[in-house]
Amino acid sequence: MTKPRLSRRRLLRGAVAGGAALAAGGLLGGCTARQDARRLATDDRWRQFAGTTLNFISENTAPTAAIAADLAPFTELTGIRVNIVTLELSALVQKVALDLASGQAQYQVIYADPYQVLAPYSKGLVDLRELAADPTLPGEVADFADFVPVQLDATGRFGTEDKVFALPYDSPTMIWQYRADLFDKHHDRMAADLGFDPTPGDDTTWEQYLAIARWFNDNTDDVRYGTGHQAKQHDSLMCDFSNVLWAHGGDYFANGFEVGRIGAVEPGRCLLAEDRAIEAAAFYQRLLSVADPASRTWDWDGLGAAFRAGRIAMCPNWHEYAANNEAVLPGRVGYARLPRGPRRSANIFGGTGIGISANTLPNERGAAWLFVNWATARDVQLRNLQSEAGGGTPTRTSVYELPEVRAAEQRPSAMPNMLTAGAVRQAWKPENAGLRPKIPMWNECDTAIYTQLSRMLVGDATPEEAMRETAERIDRITARGWVAAG
């Protein structure tokens, strides 16, 4: 049986922190006089910064766990040593903000969360196209086309298409995960009772999803509830609701896809008080009324654990939980794009890129580029996918075209995350992608959204009241952001 692989969010907390990466050497001192890395006279473009030490600060994620366990090939290739420091995201954001403001570069390579690092601090990051265009360094701008387009935009750009501040590093995407064995077992009864084919497919709607969930509640003891959700008063609640919001044709701001794809300092008036958003909130309230009541205590980890424990028949969750699903429920889980709403299917993308601090000195910057280039290279992404230390899902299209990766999309699979490939390919199409607003003040907006949704779910606010209050709060938050940016 395939060993369990560590999945996307927080399951790796503490697994890498201070571990193998720090064994390569302590962090560079912040109080000493700054000296640039030494550049060697050599024809080997990968060895010109041999002897340099870099510091990479990252959230605790599957790709970083795999990279930390696989640093030896990079050091052998380049002669560069890399210290990896992993933190919970909010702590990472604080350290990155302080480091960028200091004018120093204690951390040369940065896990640039699109909403908490890239959007507010893009001016503190290097335009990677400049390094890719440097003939003295490996890599080239044309190679950026190998990244999944929506991922390169969402994780790498801010304010303009003319610059790339980070390369796509991980790609968690929310999809429909369901007990295929139970759907098969009850298929005929469900179809007869519901009046439609319950098998998850491109035409399945959210209303049908709700009906399926209710059917499991009322007609079988195989699971306690038909569906579960990550509806804790937390970022996870915003993510879970956003799929429904977009599917109903609602959005946070006008031209929402572009605000998510490229980003904006001034996104305009919040649209949550409009009819489509209120309709989405009302449907979400109905959906949660038939879901496992414990949903209001779960983030993505709690939801994933409940699904693996056989408590629920289906759920929307990040696709990289497939590895854990297959370890506990081998061959019994199916994966599909999320259902359609009145307007479309929407599948929230939660990926992040890695970039380089603009405080780096010239040679240090070149060394950092070697690492960023290597860490997102095709061969490294393939090794990460196969890694027993974790590993994420590739962000390069060429990896998905490799024969061994194609083969892993079917069971038995040595790369269980690839069992979701059909679903995520659909989810990454622009018409199906869900991109939250990439704006400098998003963290505060996120808090406003999940706070009001929580009030709605416990009955302290109607859907209309929750959406209107959220819109008013977001407008106040973004107005402050525009003033600060100006």
395 confidence band (pLDDT: 50, 70, 90): very high
Do 298 and 371 share a structural domain?
Answer: no
Structural domain includes residue 256: yes
- Give me the domain span that covers residue 156: 22-171+350-401
How many structural domains compose the chain?
Answer: 2
Contact at 8 Å (CB) between 208 and 194? yes
Does residue 419 lie within any of the structural domains?
no
Query: Is there a single domain that holds both residue 288 and residue 323?
Result: yes
Nearest 10 degrees: Cα torsion 118, 122, 126, 130: 100
136 located within any domain: yes
Pairing mode, if any, of strands 81-87 and 53-59?
Answer: parallel
Same structural domain, 179 and 320: yes
Q: Lowest mean pLDDT of 431-440, 452-461, 474-483, name the range.
A: 474-483
Taking residue 465's Cβ as centre, other Cβ atoms within 10 Å add up to 15
Structural domain includes residue 241: yes
State yes or no: pLDDT of 41 exceeds 70: yes
Q: Examine the domain organization and report whether 97 and 129 are in the same domain.
A: yes
pLDDT surpasses 80 at 13: no
Do 166 and 128 touch, CB atoms closer than 8 A? Answer: yes
Arithmetic mean of pLDDT over the chain: 92
Q: In this structure, are residues 260 and 436 in contact, taking their beta carbons and an 8 Å threshold? A: yes
- For residue 12, being part of any structural domain is answered with no
Is it the case that residue 31 has pLDDT exceeding 80?
no
Q: pLDDT digits over 260-317, tens only?
A: 999 999 999 999 999 999 999 999 999 999 999 999 999 999 999 999 999 999 999 9
Mean pLDDT of 136-144: 95
Is the previous residue joined to 138 through a cis bond, with omega within 30 degrees of 0? no
Return the pLDDT at 8.
33
pLDDT in tens, 213-269: 999 999 999 999 999 999 999 999 999 999 999 999 999 999 999 999 999 999 999
Residues 255 and 331 in one domain: yes
Q: Is residue 414 part of a domain?
A: no
Band (pLDDT 50/70/90 cuts) for residue 480 is confident
Verify that 224 and 358 share a domain, yes or no. no
* Rounded-to-integer distance, Cα 320 and Cα 62, Å: 9
Look at residue 172 and tell me whether its pLDDT is greater than 70: yes
Indicate whether 155 and 278 sit together in one domain: no
User: Tokens for 24?
Assistant: 């390569």
Is the predicted pLDDT of residue 164 greater than 70, yes or no?
A: yes
Which of these, 146, 39, 32, lies nearest to 362 by C-alpha position?
A: 39
Please report, for the domain that includes residue 286, its CATH number.
3.40.190.10
pLDDT over 80 (residue 1) = no
Whether residue 146 sits in one domain with residue 239: no
Position 14 confidence tier, pLDDT thresholds 50, 70, 90: very low
Q: Are residues 30 and 99 in the same domain?
A: yes
So what's the pLDDT on residue 481?
65
265 lies in the same domain as 344: yes
One domain for residues 100 and 191: no
- Do 310 and 195 sit in the same domain of this protein? yes
Percentage with pLDDT > 90 across the chain: 88
CA dist 74 and 45 (Å) reads 13
Residue 391: per-residue pLDDT:
66
User: Does residue 384 register a pLDDT over 50?
Assistant: yes
Q: Would you state the pLDDT for residue 6?
A: 37
Residue 14 lies in a domain: no
pLDDT of 11 strictly over 70:
no
**pLDDT one-digit tens code per residue, 314-344:** 999 999 999 999 999 999 999 999 999 999 9
- Mean pLDDT in residue range 360-369: 98
Q: What is the pLDDT of residue 388?
A: 78
Q: Does residue 363 lie within any of the structural domains?
A: yes
Q: What is the pLDDT of residues 72-109, one digit of tens each?
A: 999 999 999 999 999 999 899 999 999 999 999 999 99
